[in-house]
Structure 1
Amino acid sequence: MYTATNEYLHCRKSEINVTAEQCLQTLQEQIDESAVNKFHVIRSNILDGAVRTVKRKFFKPMASISVEFSDENGQFEGAVDAGGPTREFLRLVMHAITNSIIFEGKENKRFLTHNPIAVAKDLYYIYGTLISLTLLHGGPAFMQIHDAISLDELNDCLMDSFNFLKLAGCHTHCTNLTGKNEIIKTAMKFYTEGKSEPLHRFSLGLNQTGLLEQMKNTPNAFKMLFIANDCSDPLSGNKIIAMFSPKLSESGSNKRHRENLVLSWWRHFVDEVGEKDSECSLQGILIFATGADEIPPLGFSPPPTLQFTELSHFPLANTCSNILSIPLQHDDYEAFKSKMEFGICNSPGFGRV
């Protein structure tokens, strides 16, 4: 259990302009780099290895993380975890948890529900712990709980949660948005007074790293990490272009002239991907280069870099260092685009170290 002193634990309500990133950085500073939680996992059943590790007798919530992936034949992939495997692991874990039995509802409209099997296996505590670890170690935000901003959205959410709300004694249809708060109040009373164990265990899991205390003290800062709505800032081509800082050769050199041309191709390629005029997706580019499918709340460390390679006709990536290398050999943009699409669309594994 997290036991740091209050001066490190709390981002106080009185502090103005405190962000979730600042709060997470405060917690991240308390990670014990001398201790390691090692996760042995496979992509096809990511939660199996994740749950086994959290349940280990000597698991330490504030230790660093090391991830080892096994391939389909059970062989260790061999990549040293300097960040890339961890980011991929955290992305896959968060996706798996949001689609697990402790949540119900449509995509981006998930809500915590009572499941007897999950209670028996203590999954509320375990998944709460994994969510807190994900945010603390630079993984993606949760962004699944839906905040209805229109009456139609509210009633859609109520229909998705019909069985639970009926059991809790809540109204299952509203004629105005003001009824939302009363439904939430009734549902929370049902949880805390009648079904308290899942919520209690989930809360304990979230606070294994001190995350819940930070959320209580700065709820508005963390809301953007957990509440999905139409105001969420989506990944865009401009973000991808700005994110990857190009490493160029000496100005005036022949290689620099070639790099400038290919750099313009890269930016055009990203624009086409953003316009869906490509086999790739913006998330696919990010996954290929970093192992993450979105920009983490803590950002990327080290910052993503764009390099140029003469060693391959295809893109290469070092997900530990967040380096994307794009090929210089092609004579025209169409050939460049074709090889970029092939390399990125055939990941994971292709061109990555």
Structure 2
Amino acid sequence: MDGEEIAGLLQAHSERVITSGKRQIYISRANVWTTALRQFKRPWFAENCDMLYVTFASDEQGGEEDAADLGGPRREFFRLLVKAIFQDSGAFEGTPTGCTPRLNILHLQNGEYRTIGRMMSTIIVQGGEPPAFLSPHVVDYIVSGDILQVDVTPDNIGDPELRQNLVKVQHATTQEDLEDAVSCCDSWRFQVEGLPLVVTMTNRDVFVKNAALYHALLHRQSCLDQLANGLSYYGVLSLLRENPSLRVLLELPEEDKDLTADFVAGVLKPSYSVLGSNRRPREELTVVKFWEFLQCVENKELRGTFGDRTLTEDEEAFLKTLSPSHILAFATGSSKVPAIGFHPSPKLTFVHDEHKHLPVAHTCVNELQLFVNAATAADDDEFNYYLLVALMNGSVFSTI
């Protein structure tokens, strides 16, 4: 399936499984994992299929942010939740091919892998960025349900030393080298029933394959089963097994490219005044400046546009991390196009006001609002600086 077919399939599935009510959920941006876990573990929450209605607690202001969730806060929450699942939950570890569950007895006893599966299902069905960070062997097991159908290699193992030792066994060219490599595995290999006790050049590949299967899958199969069980929420597991090409929603892509400036410019369509209006030329100039800003961000040239302007330490640091995906996230709450697509389509709009300068994002309607006036139209760095400040303070300049 191509992206359009996947979006259509998910849209139809979402309409079938999401019920008509809403579920209020309160989230702290400073503690996304902790606050999300508290909500998703509640039994009534897990049994409910209503659309999430997200309210962020503003740590800076000591209260709730004044933003109703018509889609933007929910997309932002999903983006932050995907990051929290794989970085903050303690439930996953990295491998050269993607993330795999880390065996954690306490997580298992508390059903946290199941809860994470429910989170992933919710993200997929309710229009978030796909949680596509899992190693292919994990997705193989989820989609097939059969551990013997999964092709596992040492690269699917998280422990670097264990992985390196198996690679040495795999690439040994003489019996002496093989024996030396196998001796590095003595601390665990005799505890794994079924592995060859004496490893030779003849059975070496069987040893490596089965040892990798044990460490990458069998050793943590209970975690994987809980995760798959959680993915049955909203019928996502059945959907994956009926349409294996949907594995792209979970699997780390071989080459995860950042969004380009041209792509973001194409997504954010200008909503101009009518042709012939005296406002139209200034709006077109603003769009050109916006496109130039995107190109400078992509090419890491933005700092040079500020000339002798003195930037704060925070602004200098932010410049180094800024990418075109930040601009999309500012406008929509999502740094990637959700698998289900954007609804409504993102756009640039213009406000002709001489007294306002900092761009504003209306994430619920996927709209980036640019102010058109003498300051933003001037042939200097003011437009770029206003946009930089707005991006740095996204929670302040993103509204309903």
Bin of the TM-score, shorter chain as denominator length: 0.7 to 0.9
Q: Deviations over 1:239-283 (max 9, x none)?
A: 111101111112112101111111111111111112122234212
Residue 102 of structure 2 is aligned to residue 110 of structure 1: no
Residue 225 of structure 2 is aligned to residue 200 of structure 1: yes
Residue 122 of structure 2 is aligned to residue 133 of structure 1: yes
Cα separation, 2, equivalents of 1:352 and 1:78: 8
TM-score (structure 2 length as normaliser): 0.73
Cα distance, 1:117–1:315 mapped onto 2, change above 3 Å: same
- What RMSD over aligned residues (CA atoms) do the two structures have, in Å? 3.2
User: How much has 1:209 moved relative to structure 2?
Assistant: 1.1
Cα distance, 1:182–1:63 mapped onto 2, change above 3 Å: farther
Cα separation, 1, equivalents of 2:62 and 2:96: 32
AA matched with 2:84: A
User: How much has 1:107 moved relative to structure 2?
Assistant: 8.9
Q: 1:261 aligns with which of 281, 285, 307?
A: 285
AA matched with 2:335: D
Cα distance, 1:237–1:18 mapped onto 2, change above 3 Å: closer
AA matched with 2:134: I
The question of whether the paired residues in 2 share the 8 Å contact of 1:31 and 1:62 is answered with yes
Percent identical = 25
| Match in the other structure for 1:52 | 38
Cα distance, 1:95–1:85 mapped onto 2, change above 3 Å: same
Q: 1:37 aligns with which of 6, 23, 30?
A: 23
Which stretch of structure 1 is more off in the superposition, 285-294 or 82-91? 285-294
Q: 1:142 aligns with which of 117, 131, 140?
A: 131
Residue 314 of structure 2 is aligned to residue 314 of structure 1: no
The question of whether the paired residues in 2 share the 8 Å contact of 1:162 and 1:172 is answered with no
> Bigger radius of gyration, 1 or 2?
2
The question of whether the paired residues in 1 share the 8 Å contact of 2:264 and 2:325 is answered with no
| Match in the other structure for 1:340 | 387
Matches within 5 A, 1:25-174: 25-59=11-45, 60-72=47-59, 74-99=62-87, 100-105=89-94, 109-146=98-135, 157=155, 160-162=158-160, 171-173=166-168, 174=170
Cα separation, 1, equivalents of 2:242 and 2:18: 24
| Match in the other structure for 2:339 | 297
Which stretch of structure 1 is more off in the superposition, 118-127 or 59-68? 59-68
Cα separation, 1, equivalents of 2:154 and 2:301: 32
AA matched with 1:105: G
User: How much has 1:101 moved relative to structure 2?
Assistant: 1.4
Which stretch of structure 1 is more off in the superposition, 198-207 or 31-40? 31-40
The question of whether the paired residues in 1 share the 8 Å contact of 2:154 and 2:163 is answered with no
Matches within 5 A, 1:2-21: 19-21=5-7
Which stretch of structure 1 is more off in the superposition, 294-303 or 70-79? 70-79
Aligned residues: 328
Residue 23 of structure 2 is aligned to residue 23 of structure 1: no
Q: Deviations over 1:121-145 (max 9, x none)?
A: 2110001100110011111112223
AA matched with 1:309: V
User: How much has 1:192 moved relative to structure 2?
Assistant: 6.7
Residue 371 of structure 2 is aligned to residue 327 of structure 1: yes
User: How much has 1:97 moved relative to structure 2?
Assistant: 0.3
Cα separation, 1, equivalents of 2:349 and 2:96: 36
AA matched with 1:96: A
Cα separation, 2, equivalents of 1:180 and 1:65: 49
In structure 2, stretches of 5+ residues that fail to align are: 138-151, 173-203, 303-318
2:365 partner SS: coil
In structure 1, stretches of 5+ residues that fail to align are: 1-14, 149-153
User: How much has 1:163 moved relative to structure 2?
Assistant: 6.6
Cα separation, 2, equivalents of 1:314 and 1:17: 34
Cα separation, 2, equivalents of 1:184 and 1:76: 53
Cα separation, 2, equivalents of 1:267 and 1:194: 51
Cα separation, 1, equivalents of 2:41 and 2:298: 41
Which stretch of structure 1 is more off in the superposition, 195-204 or 39-48? 195-204
Q: Deviations over 1:270-329 (max 9, x none)?
A: 111121222342122112111112111111111001011234211111000001011212
TM-score (structure 1 length as normaliser): 0.82
Higher helix fraction (1 or 2): 2
Residue 349 of structure 2 is aligned to residue 349 of structure 1: no
AA matched with 1:171: L
| Match in the other structure for 2:248 | 224
Cα separation, 2, equivalents of 1:337 and 1:18: 34
User: How much has 1:195 moved relative to structure 2?
Assistant: 4.4
AA matched with 1:285: I
